Structure 1
Amino acid sequence: MSTAKLIAGHAVRRLRRQQGLSQAAMAEMLDISPSYLNLIERNQRPVSAALLVRLVETFDFDPRALTADAPGGGAAAMRRRLADPMFADLEIDRAELEEWLAAAPGGAEAFARAFDRWSGEGARAATPVAIDSTMMVRREIERWRNHFPDLDAAAEMLADELRMGAADLYGALTERLRVRHALSIRILPIDILPDTLVRLDLHARQIQLSEMLEGPARVFALTMQLGLLEARGEIDALTRGAAFGDRTAERLFRRYLGQYFAAALVMPYARFLRACEATGYDLPVLERRFAVSREQLAHRLTTLGRVGARGLPFFLMRLDRAGQVSKRYAGPAHPALVEAEGRCPLWRALSLVDRPGETLTELVEMEGGVRLLTMASGIEKAGRSISGVTARFVIVLGVEASLADGLAAARGRDLKGAATPIGPGCRRCTRPDCPQRSHPPMGRSLLTTERERRVAPLVFAGD
């Protein structure tokens, strides 16, 4: 059972105001002191289990509302925004941030929205619908810290059941889908599915897979479909709890949860974590042991948040050759690198986009001295478009160097030695004397002179 404290002052305050109650009146109804309620609303005391029961019984509301819609996505999301270099001199500590969220949740939410729009997060997407829907889903994933214990538990139980029935996972999945759900599997040639990799044909009762899908991708497709069928209750509950009010966001979230279940079934939590710790998170070994792709493995490594059995806090990025991010999870790691829209040209990981199959481990250092060990892999996606284009990306896993001593990727590497100095893109990086700089930092004036020429192409005020 989780021992995490429920800090939900903003939600309790919102409930009280919706009921039109003073703190004294609500405290009397809950049989607590007004001073204790005040501390709860200021996030200085958690909501106990007994008090949660009284809240539900007294006001007849969904207890999941206590963790929903935290201002700005909650303290973790707000810390990621405040990690931007332009706030570096403010030194806002955790206590000050929590006090702000408790005292002025509306103001905090307004700041978050303004910052997201200013920073360009999603601003380059094609339509406002795409911006709102994807941001809603990202915020919900962050709220759960990318760990959904009910899905993990259901997947782990099913994985054990399938292992007892057959050693071959693909065969076991095929049989399960046939017997329990009357679905057969059919592999179709590329001329039949020229631009589709997976299709569920309910009329023919078939899951149709493209011949272009490799083994791990075929297994993943079947496990995802099985999850949508057999973990439907858990997925429905999580989607309802998110309360998106947006059909596109709901569909995106359900698809994400199906993919989460698939990864949890192929890499069951306890067995997978033991393998990670025993091998020092050796990525090639884990790929082969669980018969997964590098992208599937990388994503699973960001979900190991079980209370009492946590894995290392990895962050994840999937980048294309333009430096655009199509998949990201910041986790508790330094957020400036993951959340920024711009990419640093000094970061060598980007060079792997056009070198599928190659890997690169790099020690980098952000402004402020935070060091990260990044492990990049070039990948090529299955299939191709009608125009003949094949999608290529680089998958980057990273973790703070201070936690990387036991990693297989860190063996023989001096984690306190020379590191590549990188930043969150030129517009938001304030490092002076960078020879690769293309733009001055936002808000900094350029300094020019005809008497000298420096190595850095752009010199700005505040160097």
Structure 2
Amino acid sequence: MASGKLYIGRRVRELREAGRTTQAAFAERLGISTSYLNQIENNQRPVSAAVLLSLAEKFQVDIATLSASDGDRLLSALVEALADPLFEPYAPTLHELKLITQNAPGLAHALIACHQAYRRNGEQLASYDDQMVRTNSFAELTPYEEVRDFFHFVDNYVHELDLAAERLAADLGLPDRDPGIALPDRLEARHGIRILKIDPGEDTLRRFDPAARALFLNPYAPAATRSFQMAFQIAALEFGAEIDAIARRGEFRTPEAVEICRIGLQNYFAGALTLPYQPFLAAARELRHDLELLAARFGASLEQIAHRLSTLQRPGMKGVPVFFARIDRAGNITKRHSAAKLQFARYGAACPLWNAHQAFEMPGRIIRQLAETPDGVRYLSVATEIVKSSGGFNATPRRYAIALGCEISYASDFVYADGLDITSRSAFDPIGISCRICDRPNCAQRAVPPLKQRLAVDHNRRGVLPYALT
């Protein structure tokens, strides 16, 4: 966790039980006492370096996989849920919450799901007439939200697909070969599929005609987009069975969610094929995560590069843990993932003090920011505006800001940290995750009061806000 101590009791217990070994026998093999093993399994003590080495040597455990990142994400979601006034009489300590996420993650997921249902129920009922009949559908996750959570809790990394995409990329000579040539060649040689242009006036990026064995692409879309769509079609044609199996493991509640997940998995494969893991990771390190240089080297868009950086979570070969988000002009986060401690709010807009919003004011520029969240963690954040248009002058372009960042301890790995004084506390802007869970008392940009704070109103005095936080 944040302290650097590793509590992996559930993992150790699962490993022991998988081998049908008693605590005494397992402890003996590790060279520790039975009481110490019992404390480890109950997360009362962290594992030492010596125990980690014994696990690696005697049980072939990959130490790199023993990360608390999954627990951090689950812990963040649980903390946000319990910030609701609904739970006001209950004030668990951080240690208690860690024990829940580490020892009973299923219970934590269930509680979060219940809270989400409660929130959706309240929000939707508030927008309906009092006479509207209540139905169970109000309390259910939407298919989109269900799939979003699926990718969030697998760390946005799908091992089977990533390995398969990397193998195929090597067969096709990617990234050294132009994907605009390699991918059409694969589609024609392997599947007899021709690449044709979509008719003018058809507002479509990609259309596949199985009967005609033709893949129609928008000729006005950027080359990176056309390559991605060809890679997406290869995923559907060659890895459909694997994608279906992964989607089934998600145990989604509706057919719509399964189909949305299949689309998400095919998109994942396309990104992993055009930006194969090991060459891309090596280039990211060499170029110090320079988005523009990486985009030029791989023939990809800035958004594709930033998103791929957030998926570099292969066991034993992880990249820098980064957060990535795409934000529209209204402040809605339309894409989100974080391999860092920073977790985006599930409800409401992003903090207005975050530099992602400034990107719309400075098109064409990459904006840097040193930021500190209320928990005291500091980050390097970079943001830039992207414009998507494929219809000429009369088409309405889509404008987004993308933001990418890392904890400040990794800042030296990024070219964007050059020239910034990361040692000065005053250089860091105070930002939050969401106003509803941010307890900063004097934020002039606050949109709504925090859920867990009581308000004090002084009729004889007015500051920036019409209330004070007690």
Q: Report TM bin, short chain.
A: 0.7 to 0.9
* Aligned 8 A contact 1:122 1:131 in 2: no
Of 81, 91, 94, the residue aligned with 1:92 is 94
Secondary structure of the corresponding residue to residue 305 of structure 1? coil
Q: Is the 2:206–2:215 Cα contact (8 Å) retained in structure 1?
A: yes
Counterpart Cα distance in 2 of 1:436 and 1:268: 41
1:422 pairs with 2:447: no
Residues 29-428 of structure 1: pairs in structure 2 closer than 5 A:
32-33=21-22, 75-84=71-80, 86=83, 90-93=92-95, 96-97=96-97, 99-101=99-101, 108-117=108-117, 131-163=141-173, 167-191=177-201, 193=202, 195-335=203-343, 337-353=344-360, 356-383=363-390, 388-417=395-424, 418-428=427-437
Distance 1:77 1:133, change over 3 A: farther
Q: What is the distance in 2 between the residues matched to 1:79 and 1:392?
A: 33
Deviation at 1:220, TM superposition (A): 0.7
Partner of 1:65 in structure 2? none
Q: CA deviation at 1:386?
A: 13
Structure 1 CA distance for aligned equivalents of residues 192 and 268 of structure 2: 24
Task: Report the 3-state secondary structure (helix = DSSP H, G, I; strand = E; otherwise coil) of the residue aligned with 2:381.
Answer: strand
User: Normalized against structure 1, the TM-score is what?
Assistant: 0.77
Q: 1:33 to 1:292 in 2, by over 3 A?
A: same
Going from structure 1 to structure 2, the CA distance change for 1:40 and 1:114 (only over 3 Å counts) comes to farther
Q: Deviations along 1:2-31, whole A, 9 cap, x unmatched?
A: xxx89479999xxxxxxxxxxxxxx9x985
CA distance in 2, matches of 1:330, 1:321: 21
Q: C-alpha offsets along residues 173-221 of structure 1, whole Å, 9 cap, x if unaligned? A: 1111012111110122431x1x211111112211111122111101111
> Equivalents in 2 of 1:448, 1:184: separation in Å?
69
State the alpha-carbon separation in 2 of the partners of residues 113 and 321 from structure 1. Answer: 29
CA displacement at 1:172 relative to structure 2? 1.8
The answer on 1:441 being equivalent to 2:437 is: no
Q: Could you say if the C-alpha distance between residues 30 and 369 of structure 1 is closer, same or farther in structure 2, counting changes exceeding 3 Å?
A: closer
Task: Give the AA of the match of 1:346.
Answer: L
Residue 154 of structure 1 and its aligned partner are, at CA, apart by: 1.4
Structure 2 distance, partners of 1:439, 1:209, is 45
Number of aligned residue pairs: give it: 414
Judge conservation of contact 1:8–1:43 (CA < 8 Å) in 2.
no
Q: Give the distance between the partners of 1:243 and 1:82, measured in 2 at CA.
A: 21
Once the two structures are superposed, residues 279-335 of structure 1 have per-residue CA deviations (whole angstroms, 9 ceiling, x without a partner) of 111111101011100111011001111222110111111111111111111223222
TM-score of the superposition, structure 2-length normalised? 0.76
Give the Cα–Cα distance (whole angstroms) in 2 for the partners of residues 292 and 253 of structure 1. Answer: 23
Pair 1:148–1:98, CA change in 2 (3 A): same
**Structure 1 CA distance for aligned equivalents of residues 376 and 119 of structure 2:** 23
Shift of 1:163: 1.6
Residues 236 and 430 of structure 1: is their aligned pair in 2 closer, same or farther, counting only changes over 3 Å? same
Compute the displacement of 1:416 (Å): 2.9
- C-alpha contact (below 8 Å) 2:198/2:218 kept by paired residues: yes
Question: What is the Cα-based RMSD across aligned positions, in Å?
Answer: 3.9
In the alignment, is the contact (CA less than 8 A) between 1:446 and 1:458 conserved in 2?
A: no
Give the direction of change, closer, same or farther, for the CA distance of 1:338–1:113 in structure 2 (3 Å limit).
Answer: closer
User: Would the aligned equivalents of 2:345 and 2:434 in 1 still touch at CA under 8 Å?
Assistant: no
Structure 1 distance, partners of 2:232, 2:363, is: 25
Query: What is the distance in 2 between the residues matched to 1:106 and 1:166?
Result: 44
Q: Any stretches of 5+ residues in structure 2 without a counterpart? A: 1-7, 27-36, 60-68, 85-89, 128-136
Quick one: which amino acid aligns to residue 365 of structure 1?
Answer: E
Conservation of the 8 A alpha-carbon contact between 1:244 and 1:250: yes
Aligned-partner residue type, residue 397 of structure 2 = T
- Go from structure 1 to structure 2 and tell me whether the alpha carbon gap of 1:155 and 1:351 turns closer, same or farther (over 3 Å shift): same
The percentage of counterpart residues that share the same residue type is 31
SS in 1 for 2:217: strand
Would you say the 8 A contact 1:281–1:408 is kept in 2? yes
> Equivalent residue of 1:310, what SS?
coil
Contact 2:389 2:396 survives alignment (8 Å): no
Q: Once the 2 structures are TM-superposed, how far is the Cα of residue 453 of structure 1 from its aligned partner? A: 3.1
Equivalent AA in structure 2 for residue 399 of structure 1: C
Q: What letter matches 2:193 in structure 1? A: L
Any conservation in 2 of the 1:379–1:393 contact (CA below 8 Å)?
yes
- Which whole-Å CA distance do the structure 2 matches of 1:78 and 1:165 have between them? 35
SS in 2 for 1:404: helix
Q: Distance in 2 between matches of 1:105 and 1:160?
A: 38
Which ranges in structure 1 are unaligned for 5 or more consecutive residues? 13-26, 53-72
Alpha-carbon shift at residue 258 of structure 1 (Å) = 1.2
C-alpha change, 1:153 and 1:459, in structure 2 (3 Å) is same
- Alignment of 1:451 with 2:460, yes or no, is yes
How far apart, CA to CA, are the structure 1 residues paired with 2:171 and 2:417?
36
Verify the 8 A CA contact 1:8 1:41 in the aligned structure 2.
no
- What's the secondary structure of 2:173's corresponding residue? helix
Contact 2:198 2:204 in 1 (8 A): no
Contact 1:165-1:172 at 8 Å conserved across structures: no
Report deviation, 1:451: 3.4
How many angstroms apart in 2 are the aligned matches of 1:288 and 1:164?
14
Worse overlay, 164-173 or 421-430: 164-173
Partner SS, residue 413 of structure 2? coil
| Amino acid of the structure 1 residue aligned with 2:148 | R
